[in-house]
């Protein structure tokens, strides 16, 4: 045992002397990689439509299917409007009939006057029946409301409800309820301050695998990782909602889709 300790001390002494006897290398340039500094990530640009396809022509309902009592094209926008005389009695949707994308990015501008709306994605259309209208959807929703209580959250219409509130990154475990795994850089109230009440707002949705990111006016509003195999949807329909409630007008324009 004493011999092993002596050998270990000798080796340590030689190693230390060798290290101190060496000349320290010059610090590498370019943050340790050599050459120029690495390029930092650039912000996403809402106006960048490279690889995107316009799915609304601004003048007709081509490829869009909704209740004509509420949905029409007006002033270059896909418009849903209800009145006191013509109220929405059940949440109703206008549905894009151009496909059921899996991994995608969607960019759209919206404006809402009252009540509640939302952007449906990876959704299904429910069969019409005695208690279900013709244009009813179930699935993920980027929530929108005129008071901005819920705008920016990820919701599941006719499903699991609130999945990620504004300002949250959440995980839905297989067979379990949503769990908060982190908070975003800005607080829910700070994010709310970025939403333009009664004016046009820009939404950018990114759905890749089981991860969904919602960006509004350039800020990440909510993120969801959905591992609930039984209940999640990895592809499906896109649509826009009109919600029951007070008379309302909601408009959508500049709708761009990129599929992967």
pTM of the model: 0.86
Could you tell me what percent of the chain has a pLDDT over 70? 87
Span 119-123, average pLDDT: 98
State the pLDDT at residue 43. Answer: 84
What is the residue-wise DSSP string for 127-196?
Answer: PPBTTB-SS-EEEEEEEEETT-SSTT-EEEETTTEEEE-TTEEEEE-TTS--EEEEE-SS-HHHHHTTS-
| 163-214: pLDDT as tens digits | 999 999 999 999 999 999 999 999 999 999 999 999 999 999 999 999 999 9
Q: Is the pLDDT at 40 greater than 50, yes or no?
A: yes
Structural domains present in the chain: 53-259 (2.60.120.560)
Q: Is the pLDDT at 49 greater than 70, yes or no?
A: yes
State the pLDDT at residue 27. Answer: 52
SS3 255: strand
Q: Is the pLDDT at 31 greater than 80, yes or no?
A: no
Between 27-41, 127-141, 198-212, the lowest mean confidence (pLDDT) is in: 27-41
| Residue 103 Ramachandran class (φ > 0 left, ψ -120 to 50 alpha, else beta) | beta
| 227-254: pLDDT as tens digits | 999 999 999 999 999 999 999 999 999 9
Angle formed at CA 141 by CA 249 and CA 222, multiple of 5 degrees: 110
């Amino acid at each position: 045992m004493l011999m092993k300790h002596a050998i270990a001390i000798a080796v340590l002494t030689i190693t230390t002397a060798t290290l101190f006897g060496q000349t320290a290398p010059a610090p590498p340039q370019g943050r340790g990689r050599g050459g120029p500094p690495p390029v930092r990530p650039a912000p996403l640009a809402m106006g960048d439509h490279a690889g995107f396809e316009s799915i609304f022509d601004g003048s007709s309902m081509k490829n869009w299917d909704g209740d004509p009592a509420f949905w029409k094209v007006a002033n270059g926008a896909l418009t849903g409007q209800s009145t006191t005389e013509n109220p929405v009695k059940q949440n109703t949707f206008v549905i894009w009939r151009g496909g059921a994308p899996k991994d995608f990015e969607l960019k759209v501008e919206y404006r809402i006057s009252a009540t509640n709306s939302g952007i449906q994605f990876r959704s299904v259309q429910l069969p019409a029946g005695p208690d279900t209208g013709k244009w009813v959807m179930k699935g993920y929703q980027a929530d929108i409301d005129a008071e901005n209580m819920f705008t920016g959250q990820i919701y599941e219409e006719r499903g699991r409800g609130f999945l990620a509130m504004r300002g949250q990154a959440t995980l839905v475990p297989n067979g379990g309820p949503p769990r908060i795994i982190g908070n975003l850089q800005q607080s829910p109230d700070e994010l709310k301050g970025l939403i333009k009440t009664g004016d046009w707002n820009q939404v950018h949705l990114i759905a890749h695998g089981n991860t969904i990111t919602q960006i509004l006016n350039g800020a990440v509003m909510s993120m969801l990782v959905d591992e609930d195999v039984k209940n999640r949807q990895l592809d499906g329909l896109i649509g826009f909602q009109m919600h029951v409630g007070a008379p309302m007008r909601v408009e959508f324009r500049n709708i761009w889709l990129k599929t992967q």
